Amino acid sequence: MNELDKKHLELTRVGIEFPTPKGPFCALKDVDLKIAKGEFVSLIGHSGCGKSTVLNIVAGLYQATSGGVLLDNKEVNEPGPERAVVFQNHSLLPWLTAYENVELAVKQVFAKKMNKQEMKEWVNHNLELVHMTHAAHKRPDEISGGMKQRVGIARALAMQPKVLLMDEPFGALDALTRAHLQDSLMEIHAELGNTVIMITHDVDEAVLLSDRIVMMTNGPSATVGEILDVTLPRPRERLALADNPEYNHYRHEVLTFLYEKQRKVENVSTKKASGSKKGKEVA
Amino acid sequence: MSKEATMAKVTALDFKKTLSSDFAKQILTAVLLPFIGLIVFLLLWASTAKNIDTSLGEFPGPAQVYSQAGTLITEHFAEREKAEAFYERQRERNEARMKVDPTYQPKIRDYTGKATFFDQIWTSLYTVMVGFIIASVIAVPIGIACGLSQKTYSAINPLIQIFKPVSPLAWLPLVTMVVSAVYVTDDPMFSKSFLTSALTVTLCCLWPTLINTAVGVSNISQDLVNVSRVLRLSKLAHVFKIVMPSSIPMIFTGLRLSLGIGWMVLIAAEMLAQNPGLGKFVWDEFQNGSSDSLARIMVAVLVIGVIGFMLDRLMLMIQRFVSWDKNAVLR
């Protein structure tokens, strides 16, 4: 990838401080990251290290206190549908059906560009992408956790975002459902070629899905520790990769970073984690 | 194998037994216990009433109240017959005059007999609904504004806290004077007593709806707010698509509390404003002071209670209809 390509999304010296009763809490400091168009990037790190904060800054939900984010050379300073978010707990509107949840996004984003029929087709097309056509007219409380997350992804994709932001999208799912959704996500990424930033705790997930894995140091003042390029050929097969030495090498790299270089002493880490949570809540 | 079969039989039997005992328990809690409670109350009432002597005679027991309820119903139908007879006579007279003089414009006069108990119930319901609807139309938007913005809430909160505990009887004289001063027309659509009562109800109905709406709106999940921000929903779309649906349960809790308070306030307001509803009925009977008065007031008390209960059920039904969460436990 040449340097020009890498300028799609640019984070430059991003830092954020949250006011707390004990004075400002510095959650992030000097986060630098350049992401190319169509790239799949994972953010991995221990809990409380500020991964979600990075994502929320890119989404525009938080304002960086120093540095800034550029998307196609335009500064990001408010949330918008060109940076669609898939939330950890799906965040579907519980009073709307799967179809209506996606429709709400489509109506908002394509109000002037599509007529009614086109909108309908576009909603159905996106539900089909995530294999949810059969339950299009069910409410979130009538479908399983995995299905809710699929609808959440469909809603985000339907906005035709420049960047798809995923905050631990499969964190709350069981292992089998998660594997299923990872496969679906790879298919979709291969088909649409979206730029994706995904937060994860799961080393296998990161290696399987990503072009690059961004490993973050522990907070406070968390920043980018190491970046690992994953050059495994696509399409990737989870079964075939299980015995692949290259795959295992990548896994090993990430595990080494997490458990040797950035090992956490447990009692301290829990304190810090709760500290950063509090900071978020205050913000 | 036979042992297994007997085991299966035994469990099936046990299952049947528990099923039937569950059913018995349900009957007990749903029918029998409320019935027993009612009987005990009636007995206590009957025995105590006999021992209370008032200047209007013995305090009415269940039997007297029952017979007065019957009297009120017969009085209602008697009055209706009189009204019909009046209109019939009027029609005949007009027709007779039209025959003599075809250019004659017939005059239709309203029957001016006294309001029956049922007319008064209707007036009360109408008045409380008008007051309640005015209050809701004011309180829900302000509540939403308070829930959305901490600043608005801080500005309005002291007013809420000060006016919330004020008794309707303190408002009533002020409302009466303002209505008489402001509502001056030659051909009034509403009577002043009606407006005074309805507005007093409004003043007391505002607060529970306002407070509960504000709490409901301020407790919307941050995730849903984030969805709205990512979609860049306009302020209005945010309110109608995200805020209102998710705070419907709390809004309705407020509305139900408000309607309950409004119904209580109304009776007092009608007594003083002389709006021809149940409050005026109670007051008139009290002033009348016949030997039947107390029993008739007791009928009104029971009717007021039953109507209050039914109003609450009505709101519950509306809530079920409007709310998206059909599985929510509503009580």
> What does the pLDDT read at residue B6?
60
Q: What residue type is A23 in one-letter code?
A: G
Chain A residues near residue B232 by CB distance under 8 angstroms: 78-81, 108
Question: Tokens 């009466």 correspond to what residue?
Answer: B176
Cβ neighbours around A250 below 10 Å, total: 23
Cα dihedral sign, A185-A190-A195-A197:
positive
**Is residue A172 domain-shared with residue A39, that is, in the same domain?**
yes
Chain B residues near residue A91 by CB distance under 8 angstroms: 221, 223-224, 226-227
Number of domains in chain A: 2
Flag the least confident range among A272-281, B78-87, B215-224: A272-281
Nearest-angstrom CA–CA distance, B141 and B5: 67
The b-or-e profile of B277-302 (16+ CB within 10 A means b, else e) is: bbbbbbbbbeeeeeebbbbbbbbbee
- Please give the residue range of the domain that contains residue A102: 92-160
- Smallest Cβ distance to A81: which of B224, B230, B325? B230
Does A191 reside within a domain? yes
Chain A residues near residue B233 by CB distance under 8 angstroms: 108
Q: What is the mean pLDDT of residues B3-24?
A: 65
Does A150 reside within a domain? yes
**How close does chain B come to A84, measured CA to CA in Å?**
7
**Is residue A49 domain-shared with residue A180, that is, in the same domain?**
yes
**Is residue A70 domain-shared with residue A192, that is, in the same domain?**
yes
Cα dihedral sign, B126-B130-B131-B136:
positive
**Is residue A199 domain-shared with residue A142, that is, in the same domain?**
no
Flag the least confident range among A56-65, A119-128, B12-21, B319-328: B12-21
Does B217 reside within a domain? yes
Q: Which of A87-91, A184-188, B179-183, B238-242 has the highest mean pLDDT?
A: B238-242
Q: What is the pTM of this model?
A: 0.81
Does B51 reside within a domain? no
Q: Taking 70 as the threshold, does the pLDDT of residue A270 lie above it? A: no
> What does the pLDDT read at residue A283?
34
Does B33 reside within a domain? no
Q: Taking 70 as the threshold, does the pLDDT of residue B128 lie above it? A: yes
Q: What percent of chain B has pLDDT over 70?
A: 92
| pLDDT per residue as tens digits for the range B269-295 | 999 988 889 999 999 999 988 888 899
* A189 reaches B (C-beta below 8 A): no
Q: Indicate the average pLDDT of chain B.
A: 88
Nearest-angstrom CA–CA distance, B75 and B68: 10
- Tell me which of B105 and B193 has the higher pLDDT: B193
> What does the pLDDT read at residue B104?
79
- Smallest Cβ distance to B230: which of A59, A89, A139? A59
The first and second tokens of residue B150, run together, are 């901490």
> What does the pLDDT read at residue B254?
94
How large is the C-alpha radius of gyration of chain B?
28
Chain B residues near residue A86 by CB distance under 8 angstroms: none
> What does the pLDDT read at residue B28?
82
* A114 reaches B (C-beta below 8 A): no
Does B294 reside within a domain? yes
Strand order in the sheet with A23-35: A23-35, A9-20, A66-71, A74-75
Cβ neighbours around B199 below 10 Å, total: 22
**Is residue A144 domain-shared with residue A67, that is, in the same domain?**
no
Does B201 reside within a domain? yes
Confidence bin at B27 (pLDDT 50/70/90)? confident
Q: Taking 60 as the threshold, does the pLDDT of residue A267 lie above it? A: no
Report long-range pairs for A20-26 (Cβ below 8 Å, ≥24 apart). A20/A275, A20/A278, A20/A279, A20/A282, A25/A220, A25/A275, A25/A276, A25/A278, A25/A279, A26/A220, A26/A221
User: Which of A91, A106, A280 to mutate against chain B (most B CBs within 10 Å)?
Assistant: A91
**Is residue A134 domain-shared with residue A11, that is, in the same domain?**
no
Helical segments of chain B, H only: 2-27, 33-50, 62-100, 117-148, 150-163, 168-182, 192-218, 222-230, 235-237, 244-273, 278-288, 293-322
**Is residue A177 domain-shared with residue A156, that is, in the same domain?**
no
> What does the pLDDT read at residue A276?
43
Does A87 reside within a domain? no
- Please give the residue range of the domain that contains residue B209: 117-322
> Which helix (H) or strand (E) segment is A281 a member of?
helix A266-282
Q: Report strand pairing: A9-20 vs A66-71.
A: antiparallel
Number of domains in chain B: 1
> What does the pLDDT read at residue A281?
38
> What does the pLDDT read at residue B30?
82
> What does the pLDDT read at residue B328?
65
- Smallest Cβ distance to A81: which of B232, B237, B325? B232
SS3 category, B63: helix
Does A47 reside within a domain? yes
Residues of B with CB under 8 A from a CB of A: 221, 223-224, 226-227, 229-233, 237, 241-242, 245-246, 324-325, 327
Q: What is the mean pLDDT of residues A204-214?
A: 92
Nearest residue in B to A89, CA atom: B223
| pLDDT per residue as tens digits for the range A104-141 | 999 999 988 889 999 999 999 999 888 899 999 999 98
Nearest-angstrom CA–CA distance, A6 and A57: 19
Chain B residues near residue A141 by CB distance under 8 angstroms: 325, 327
Does B100 reside within a domain? no
Q: Taking 60 as the threshold, does the pLDDT of residue A275 lie above it? A: no
**Is residue A38 domain-shared with residue A172, that is, in the same domain?**
yes
Q: Taking 70 as the threshold, does the pLDDT of residue A177 lie above it? A: yes
Chain A residues near residue B237 by CB distance under 8 angstroms: 108
The phi and psi torsions of A40 (rounded to 5 degrees) equal -110, 110
Cβ neighbours around B135 below 10 Å, total: 27
Q: Taking 80 as the threshold, does the pLDDT of residue B330 lie above it? A: no
Does B193 reside within a domain? yes
> Which helix (H) or strand (E) segment is A225 a member of?
strand A224-229
Q: What is the mean pLDDT of residues B37-65?
A: 89
Confidence bin at B207 (pLDDT 50/70/90)? very high
- Tell me which of A80 and B188 has the higher pLDDT: A80
**Which of A140, A160, A180 corresponds to the end of one domain?**
A160
**Is residue A149 domain-shared with residue A166, that is, in the same domain?**
no
* A61 reaches B (C-beta below 8 A): yes
**Is residue A189 domain-shared with residue A264, that is, in the same domain?**
yes
**Which of A114, A145, A160 corresponds to the end of one domain?**
A160
In angstroms, how far is the first alpha carbon of chain B from the final one?
A: 51
Does A230 reside within a domain? yes
Q: What is the mean pLDDT of residues A148-157?
A: 92
Q: What is the mean pLDDT of residues B219-235?
A: 92
CA atoms within a 13 Å half-sphere pointing along the CA-CB vector of B19 = 6
Respond yes or no on whether ipTM tops 0.85: no
- Smallest Cβ distance to B233: which of A78, A95, A108? A108
Q: What residue type is B291 in one-letter code?
A: S
- Tell me which of B249 and A267 has the higher pLDDT: B249
Cα dihedral sign, B80-B83-B85-B91:
negative
Does B68 reside within a domain? no
Q: Report strand pairing: A40-44 vs A195-200.
A: parallel
- Smallest Cβ distance to A104: which of B241, B325, B327? B241
**Which of A110, A132, A160 corresponds to the end of one domain?**
A160
Chain A residues near residue B245 by CB distance under 8 angstroms: 93, 95
Nearest-angstrom CA–CA distance, A148 and A141: 9
The first and second tokens of residue A161, run together, are 């975002």
> What does the pLDDT read at residue B185?
80
Q: Indicate the average pLDDT of chain A.
A: 86
> What does the pLDDT read at residue B69?
92
**Is residue A70 domain-shared with residue A98, that is, in the same domain?**
no
**Is residue A9 domain-shared with residue A142, that is, in the same domain?**
no
B212: CATH: 1.10.3720.10
Q: Taking 90 as the threshold, does the pLDDT of residue B39 lie above it? A: yes
**How close does chain A come to B159, measured CA to CA in Å?**
28
A225: CATH: 3.40.50.300
Q: What is the mean pLDDT of residues A1-29?
A: 81
